[in-house]
Structure 1
Amino acid sequence: MCSGGFAKCLGITLMPLAIVCVLCNILLFFPGGKPVDSEHITVEVWYFGGILGSGVLMIFPALVFLGLKNNDCCGCCGNESCGRRFAMLSSILFAGVGVLGAGYSVIVSSVAINHGPMCEVRNGTGTMWDTPFSNGDYLSNKSSWDECIKPDNMVSWHLSLFSVLLIMGLIQMALCAVQVVNGLLGALCGDCCGCCGGSDGN
């Protein structure tokens, strides 16, 4: 497979991953699937790891990768292979943007999973909103999840969505890293189309 065709496959894969990350981040604004006051939303949700990092910043590299297969610009000697080499080289920069965006999402998700969700907990005779899990121990002690009274299933909601963001971010980072290697090979070897000037025998 030509490097441009392989990059297109990566772009096709990154697009749905970016959409999933955006949706997960949006769902996190509705703890337990219910609307709550903004001050009751876990602070890491407001960092927009899924919307900005694995979403918006991932759209740009995905679109660039999708367009590499059909790139026919002439870079030198009137030969399209040189234009494609330059395009493959420039794709490395966009892949770097994708790695940074996905890395940001991974960091935010990791911190959010460690801190746990904000939920309603018992406070003497009443209840209050708080973050009862501050050291990540709740991950190995499922019985402690009962400390969260409301919203219903808040811990599993928080953990599931941020885990998806974490996994999707790691996959995105891996795919963008693969494109860095693919881009280097495409820039050095061409897109299976020969060297500059090869088409006219010079």
Structure 2
Amino acid sequence: MCTGKCAKCIGASLYPLAFCCIVANLLLFFPNFQLDYVQDTSKLTPEVLYLGGIFGGGIMMFLSIAFAGVGVLGSAYCLIVSSLGLVNGPMCQTGNANWSRPFYMDPDKLELTDRSYLFHPEIWDRECKQPKDIIVFNVVLFALLIGFSGIELVLCLLQMINGLFGCICGTCGKRSSGPV
């Protein structure tokens, strides 16, 4: 059996087996299909409570795709938070010596004529006195975070799809036409 067929067979077997392990472990909480025992776990076998079927036989089998999924969530979170940081502007000391976010635009009070501070660099030093050049600092770093997390998002999505198809369909490979 070639490695591609073997990987396909293993991958196609792992997911149903992982599902069966989870279901079996859950059923162990209900001996004889009765709800009485789950309320008093002292009447259950300790190994049922160790959740070996759920974690070991179930969840651990999904980890390669799950970690890529966690990467998708993490990169999407970074992308959203960084975008908000860029749009809302930095916290800085304003002309009246108070610390605030002078460029923050409240979505409830936003009008169509309002423009972002990003398009008006001439007001940056006038509105933010300290720290020096905080707006450029924030814009550059938040823009980098947006770019990096966007790339991470795409790569994690590709890894998740690749892992799923790799487990289900197996690996790609050419057969050699003769001896090497």
Unaligned runs of 5+ in 2: 1-5, 15-59, 106-114, 175-180
Partner of 1:117 in structure 2? Answer: 90
4+ residue runs of structure 1 moved beyond 4 angstroms?
79-90
Partner of 1:96 in structure 2? Answer: 69
Offset, 1:83: 4.7
Aligned-CA RMSD value: 2.6
Counterpart amino acid of residue 103 in structure 1? A
Aligned pair in 2 of structure 1 residues 180, 80: CA closer, same or farther (>3 Å)?
Answer: closer
Alpha-carbon distance between aligned partners in 1 of 2:7 and 2:68, rounded to the nearest angstrom: 22
Alpha-carbon distance between aligned partners in 2 of 1:109 and 1:152, rounded to the nearest angstrom: 21
Aligned pair in 2 of structure 1 residues 134, 98: CA closer, same or farther (>3 Å)?
Answer: same
Partner of 1:170 in structure 2? Answer: 150
Offset, 1:90: 4.2
Offset, 1:94: 1.3
Structure having the higher Rg: 2
Aligned pair in 2 of structure 1 residues 90, 190: CA closer, same or farther (>3 Å)?
Answer: farther
CA deviation string 1:52-110 (max 9, x = no partner): xxxxxxxxxxxxxxxxxxxxxxxxxxx56645675996422211110001111111111
2:170 counterpart (164, 185, 190): 190
CA deviation string 1:105-161 (max 9, x = no partner): 1111111111100111111xxx22111101261111111111111111100111111
Alpha-carbon distance between aligned partners in 1 of 2:83 and 2:66, rounded to the nearest angstrom: 26
User: Retained in 2: the 8 A contact 1:89–1:183?
Assistant: no
Alpha-carbon distance between aligned partners in 2 of 1:98 and 1:82, rounded to the nearest angstrom: 27
Partner of 2:48 in structure 1? Answer: none
Alpha-carbon distance between aligned partners in 1 of 2:118 and 2:136, rounded to the nearest angstrom: 10
Counterpart amino acid of residue 145 in structure 1? W
Alpha-carbon distance between aligned partners in 1 of 2:11 and 2:164, rounded to the nearest angstrom: 12
Partner of 2:100 in structure 1? Answer: 130
Offset, 1:168: 0.8
Partner of 1:156 in structure 2? Answer: 136
Residues 43-54 of structure 1: matches in 2 within 5 Å?
none
TM-score scaled to structure 1, two decimals? 0.49
